[in-house]
A = this chain, B = another copy of it.
């Protein structure tokens, strides 16, 4: 439990349930008459006495019942875990040897004079006092009991501190929090909208916001200049492991600003949070800023984990000069040959190497060339014979490889090479234990391409979203070679996870129309979906930009939690159900009739 709140006192002196919290009493209180309230955390009967660990949000205090006080003792004999009680008594020092140095209240105990049972409890479906693994569906159904356990309680209290910190940091810098509507218009993009039938307009629907993107840009047109909101975003996505129908983001937007200003602001915020609320160490300050190209070339990913090396090297020129046809033909065909160098792998069996090839194949690689650096500096490999001594030395040198190291190479199109070596790199991270859990390697990735080509649908798509401003110098490319345009886009990445994504937006209606045209959105459709914004931009829209860091993911990272459900008070299951409330559920016909809708019977 956290120390910060340990000494919190009751709000009122006349509270009939307690004079102190269960985290408050110390040796200085010995002799005082006190009253505590909370839950029976543990009960032990020992030496004719009954010991209760009484728990509230602030801590644990040991309460003892003596048989001398017969009627109270008899009541205490009934006590079971999780009963809600109020107890009065005298603070005493614990006998020598019974002290608990791990507990702030561990030097004292309360000798009970009186006991009021406020509510009994059935036997909980799982233990509250101990953190043993419990079936997750049971935890979700009895969420109110799971939340009594230390892990979830501390996660939720921590989350509050993070969000509080964010709000204060931004408010001090003149940001204004503005609430934007939950009932808004459907503008399908990315994920599906959740729809809400409008009773007063039969056949029409509101949509719940996937993000307040348009509203925040309209707030910039409205002159608020510095806006933020801890906003709920709702997306009707197909259940993937770690998705929830609703998640929370810090939505932030600024006017008359630049990419550097946004980055500096958020970097300051994240640094403060990490340093004031956690024990984690930031690997590098200021956060490194890598262009998309650099991130791909060095790490094969735009979400690189910078806690360790294993950087990629491009050996295409060596490969092109070698006798190894596979390599040569790839380079000649416009692809590349890149690799990485791993230390400490020791001897690798045929099976080990097959397994690593399978890892690389996750990124699309059709093969993985491997070389071992021998004691004399030469390379050992089934394909070593295709490389001259000089070429072998060049390969080893590219990585500064030492005897005993392994070199792995993938030859393919850049995108396959990057994806495959990224897989390999992360695999080796885990296998070699290269990444320290208590270290946060945060970095910015910038200069993303504005568009990407969708091979399946044979069309150009925005890489991020369609409101992103191209780099000033790339504006002419919009007409001539749109796939070469770099956008003013930036992602915040920590330990290989994307924490935030943002951009400087288009404020010029002409540029916006050009982008719409590039991605094949015709004027009518653009008007239908983004009419308000397009009109608003005709009224002196300022240059603006922003970012939207996810709160859940950040809290997960700081608390070392493996999934988003551990940092939300009332999450849905992976199948988007609330097992506790039994939602969703059928509703009365009358309700549907009022809404002017009906349920379609499935004809399968």
- Residue numbers of A with Cβ under 8 A of B are 5, 8, 11-12, 14-18, 37-40, 55-58, 82-84, 86, 118-122, 124, 142-145, 147-148, 153, 156-157, 160, 163-164, 167-168, 171, 173-174, 176-186, 188, 192-208, 214-215, 218-219, 221-226, 232, 234, 236, 239, 245-246, 248, 254, 256-258, 260-261, 264-265, 507-508, 531-532, 536-543, 568-570, 572, 575-578, 580-588, 591, 593-600, 602
Contact of A206 among B174, B201, B584 (CB under 8 A): B584
* CB atoms of B538 and A15 under 8 A apart: no
* CB atoms of A202 and B600 under 8 A apart: yes
For A219, list chain B residues within 8 Å (CB).
144, 147, 569
- Given the known interface contacts A179-B248, A245-B183, the answer about A600 and B602 at a Cβ–Cβ threshold of 8 Å is no
* CB atoms of A84 and B541 under 8 A apart: yes
For A540, list chain B residues within 8 Å (CB).
39-40, 82-84, 119-121
Q: What are some 9 contacts across the A-B interface (CB < 8 A)?
A: A15-B256, A15-B257, A55-B223, A118-B542, A156-B176, A183-B246, A200-B576, A203-B586, A531-B582
* Closest chain B CB from A78 CB (angstroms): 13
Instruction: From A144, A219, A572, name the one whose CB has the most chain B CB atoms within 10 angstroms.
Output: A144
For A246, list chain B residues within 8 Å (CB).
181-183
Cα A15 to Cα B225 in complex, Å, equals 14
Cα A143 to Cα B12 in complex, Å, equals 45
Q: Tell me the nearest residue of chain B to A55, going by C-beta.
A: B223
Cα A596 to Cα B160 in complex, Å, equals 38
* CB atoms of B196 and A196 under 8 A apart: yes
- Given the known interface contacts A207-B583, A542-B84, the answer about A575 and B200 at a Cβ–Cβ threshold of 8 Å is yes
* CB atoms of B12 and A258 under 8 A apart: yes
Q: Tell me the nearest residue of chain B to A183, going by C-beta.
A: B245
For A86, list chain B residues within 8 Å (CB).
256
Contact of A147 among B224, B232, B570, B578 (CB under 8 A): B224
- Given the known interface contacts A12-B260, A595-B195, the answer about A206 and B119 at a Cβ–Cβ threshold of 8 Å is no
Cα A597 to Cα B58 in complex, Å, equals 49
For A192, list chain B residues within 8 Å (CB).
199, 591, 594
Cα A568 to Cα B179 in complex, Å, equals 8
Q: Tell me the nearest residue of chain B to A157, going by C-beta.
A: B176
Excluding A182-B246, A195-B587, 17 further A-B contacts by CB distance (< 8 Å) are A14-B261, A39-B540, A57-B225, A83-B540, A84-B543, A118-B507, A118-B542, A145-B222, A163-B177, A164-B171, A167-B167, A186-B585, A194-B196, A196-B196, A202-B599, A218-B580, A597-B597
For A598, list chain B residues within 8 Å (CB).
597-598, 600
- Given the known interface contacts A15-B256, A144-B222, A583-B207, the answer about A539 and B118 at a Cβ–Cβ threshold of 8 Å is no
Tell me if A's interface is mostly helix, strand, loop or mixed.
loop
Q: Tell me the nearest residue of chain B to A538, going by C-beta.
A: B122
Cα A448 to Cα B588 in complex, Å, equals 33
- Given the known interface contacts A144-B221, A160-B178, the answer about A226 and B57 at a Cβ–Cβ threshold of 8 Å is yes
Cα A453 to Cα B201 in complex, Å, equals 35
* CB atoms of A570 and B180 under 8 A apart: yes
Contact of A576 among B198, B256, B538, B583 (CB under 8 A): B198
* CB atoms of A539 and B121 under 8 A apart: yes
For A201, list chain B residues within 8 Å (CB).
577, 584
For A180, list chain B residues within 8 Å (CB).
569-570
For A221, list chain B residues within 8 Å (CB).
144
Cα A582 to Cα B508 in complex, Å, equals 23
Cα A182 to Cα B587 in complex, Å, equals 17
* Closest chain B CB from A144 CB (angstroms): 4
Cα A429 to Cα B166 in complex, Å, equals 46
Contact of A205 among B119, B585, B593 (CB under 8 A): B585
* CB atoms of B181 and A578 under 8 A apart: yes
Q: Tell me the nearest residue of chain B to A152, going by C-beta.
A: B222
* Top 4 A-B residue pairs of the complex, sorted by shortest distance between their CB atoms: A121-B540, A147-B222, A198-B584, A185-B583
* CB atoms of A160 and B144 under 8 A apart: no
* CB atoms of B539 and A204 under 8 A apart: no
* CB atoms of A173 and B597 under 8 A apart: no
Instruction: From A119, A225, A508, name the one whose CB has the most chain B CB atoms within 10 angstroms.
Output: A119
For A182, list chain B residues within 8 Å (CB).
182, 208, 232, 234, 246
Contact of A186 among B536, B542, B591 (CB under 8 A): B591
Cα A260 to Cα B282 in complex, Å, equals 47
Q: Tell me the nearest residue of chain B to A146, going by C-beta.
A: B222
* Closest chain B CB from A440 CB (angstroms): 24
* CB atoms of A218 and B143 under 8 A apart: yes
* Closest chain B CB from A131 CB (angstroms): 15
Cα A184 to Cα B571 in complex, Å, equals 11
* Closest chain B CB from A420 CB (angstroms): 34
Cα A378 to Cα B198 in complex, Å, equals 63
Contact of A188 among B11, B18, B218, B591 (CB under 8 A): B591
- Given the known interface contacts A57-B223, A164-B171, A164-B177, the answer about A596 and B599 at a Cβ–Cβ threshold of 8 Å is yes
